[in-house]
Amino acid sequence: MILPTLEEYSKKYQHIKFHREDGILQLTLHSDNADLVWGFAPHQELGYCFADIAADPENKVIIFTGSGETFIHKEDLGGGGVTAKIWAEHVLPDAKRLLTNLLEIQAPMIAAVNGPATVHAELALLCDIVLAADHTVFQDAPHYPSGLVPGDGVHVVWPMLLGLNRARYFLMTGQQLSAQEALNLGVVNEVMPQATLLDRAWALARIVQRRPALTTRLTREAMLMQVKRAMLEQLPYGLALEGLAACDFWPTQFAAENFAKK
């Protein structure tokens, strides 16, 4: 079996930077070396990237962060609509791959949330240790506040973290949680100035790496079992509901936006 190497897969992805030192791999999301703008391209790339990382035994601990002042805060879907065919053939499999491949990474993951995480914050929150810069806010902006069902994993992750009633309020009102509020609710583990965030992430990664390698990998596996089970049962159905809403709402929304620009 030929396993992927960092030298090979680090060149494949437009929106992800890689830096590995002593088995600790730092992934940094970006768009043209600045804050990531989320869209269909990074949505597709990241799922395949997670698969490459999972298959590389040289990755002992993962640090997951963003560029600039934000984790994922900006979004550009290209101003186009979506059909059931596009959703079924592209969006749905990419969304499933994104989360399932993240959960298949056995190396422990540390999220260093370097700023606002209002788009796909669940990617950071599925990590084993979650650190946040003190100017971070958490929100689920792209779904219910934007006319869509919160179906692509957020309907699984947020109820697990907040409890059902808090999660429904959070998702349906567009509530923003400050870094301190997220800490108080148990959503993140530590809050600190952005300037010290990555140093702390690397320090924790070295602590985690001191334990026996197999013990460390299997500990993450054990801790994620309930999350994997919930995703297996609920993710495809949530995505199907989200797709129905998107096919109904997005064509009208984009038509109105295009008309307003004329």
Query: So what's the pLDDT on residue 80?
Result: 58
Arithmetic mean of pLDDT, 197-216: 97
Grade residue 250 by pLDDT with cuts at 50, 70 and 90: confident
Whether residue 216 has pLDDT greater than 50: yes
Contacts of 180-187 with CB under 8 Å at 24 or more apart are 180/134, 182/132, 182/136, 182/138, 183/132, 185/161, 186/161, 187/125, 187/130, 187/138, 187/161, 187/162
Total structural domains within the chain? 1
For residue 18, being part of any structural domain is answered with yes
Catalytic annotation, pick one of 45, 122, 221, 257: 122
User: Kind and range of the H or E element at 158?
Assistant: helix 154-162
Q: What is the mean pLDDT of the chain?
A: 93
Q: What would the pLDDT profile of 182-202 be if each residue is shown by its tens digit? A: 999 999 999 999 999 999 999
Judge whether 38 lies within some domain: yes
Domain assignment of residue 132, yes or no: yes
SS3 assignment for 45-105: HHHHHHHHHHHCCCCCEEEEEECCCCCECEECCCCCCCCHHHHHHHHHHHHHHHHHHHHCC
Instruction: Check whether 91 has a pLDDT greater than 50.
Output: yes
pLDDT value at residue 79: 59
Residue 122: active-site member: yes
Residue 115 falls inside a structural domain? yes
Report pLDDT digits (tens) over 34-86.
Answer: 999 999 999 999 999 999 999 999 999 999 999 999 999 999 877 556 789 98
Mean pLDDT of the 149-162 span? 96
In a domain, 1, yes or no: no
Spatial contact of 116 and 177, defined as CB atoms under 8 Å apart:
no
> Is 244 inside any structural domain?
yes
* CATH number of the CATH domain containing 109: 3.90.226.10
Is residue 217 situated within a structural domain? Answer: yes
CB atoms under 10 Å from CB of 131, counted, come to 26
Tokens of 63: 């640090």
Tokens representing 55? 């298959």
Q: Which domain holds residue 155?
A: 6-261
Q: Rounded to two decimals, what is the model's pTM?
A: 0.93
| Range of lowest pLDDT (78-92, 146-160, 177-191) | 78-92
- Position 148 in a domain: yes
Mean pLDDT value across residues 131-143:
97
Tell me what percent of the residues of the chain surpass a pLDDT of 90. Answer: 88
Phi, psi of 79 (to 5 degrees): 70, 20
Residue written as token pair 């700023």:
115
